[in-house]
Amino acid sequence: MPELPEVQAHAERLGEAFTGRVLVKFVPLTFTALKTAVPAPDEAYGTPLRGVGRRGKYILLHFDAVTFVIHLMQGGRLLVDEKKSAKPRGGQARLTFMEPDGDDAPALLLTEAGTERRAGVWCVTAGDEESSAPLDKLGPEAHLVTPEQLLELFGVKSQRLHGFLRDQRSIAGIGRRLANEVCHRAKLSPFASTSKLRIDGARAVVAAIAETVGEGLEYERSRPDMSSSKDRPGSVHGRAGEACPVCGDTVRAIEYSGYTVNYCPTCQTGGKILADNTTSRFLK
């Protein structure tokens, strides 16, 4: 799933290409694409795109009256659409534009690979984005949190660090890949209890977020399009069986139905191997 660096860089690319273009029409191509009924998308028709932003993992298309909030989920992409075919492969929704002088312009096409159909669009009243679903439940932006703020968030409830980092209600923008990388960079067990982490742990996590997000942004901004997961920079994510680039130990994996936790025993758990199931005694 695209995370903070990928979504931020893509929002910047789209903003450069589409800001100022006038929205002509929004067309849901599947029944599940549009998640809201009010305000109606047509309240933005005939008005220019004021800018493209990001909140957590969501892309925000800002118009005068309406903001289109778009979540790509696992297999979604928001693509520049030159062809505008009637039945695009994987198409979920399309926003058609024209130039300010009335000339035709490329569209934006929301696509989603696979059959889950979880990617979608929410229309919210401009200016009320933070108080409207789906953004109203998001925590603070991960890369903007201070150590003191993070320590306070750690104390809200006791949970494993890896789960905390992935929980968008705790902090927004981090997913499976970055959670693995942040834990490794911070030299903390992915199953360290947030209730037991003190200010030094919070500082380590904040520094690790800044470094990993910064590296991801630098890479994404060097590309003309959004990367695939396998191309993104990292030390442990998706590298089970390979040598840790820091210490040379073997990167390990703990498999769950929806995600994989990767870690280095030497760097993160004092050399101990974490059990590969949820009922064993994990290192705290």
Nearest to 151, CA basis, from 193, 202, 112: 202
Task: Read off the tokens for 131.
Answer: 């108080």
Cβ-based burial of 187 (10 A; exposed 0-12, middle 13-18, buried ≥19) = middle
Could you tell me if residue 31 is inside a domain? yes
Could you tell me if residue 196 is inside a domain? yes
Q: Are residues 23 and 110 in the same domain?
A: yes
Cβ pair 14, 108 in contact under 8 A: yes
Indicate the SS3 state at residue 257. Answer: coil
- pTM comes to 0.94
Q: Are residues 107 and 125 in the same domain?
A: yes
How many domains in the chain?
Answer: 2
Phi, psi angles (nearest 5°) of residue 27 = -125, 110
Q: What is the CATH number of the domain that holds 258?
A: 1.10.8.50
Q: Are residues 37 and 114 in the same domain?
A: yes
Of the residues 91, 114, 136, which one is the last residue of a structural domain? Answer: 136
Q: Are residues 40 and 60 in the same domain?
A: yes
| Element containing residue 177 per DSSP (H, E) | helix 176-186
Distances (CA, A) of 6 to 30, 117, 168, 200, 262: 25, 20, 16, 29, 20
At residue 80 the predicted structure's pLDDT band, cuts being 50, 70 and 90, is very high
Domain range enclosing 212: 142-268
For the stretch 150-206, pLDDT in tens is 999 999 999 999 999 999 999 999 999 999 999 999 999 999 999 999 999 999 999
Q: What is the CATH number of the domain that holds 82?
A: 3.20.190.10
Of the residues 88, 105, 136, which one is the last residue of a structural domain? Answer: 136
Mean pLDDT score across all residues of the chain: 95
Q: Are residues 10 and 132 in the same domain?
A: yes
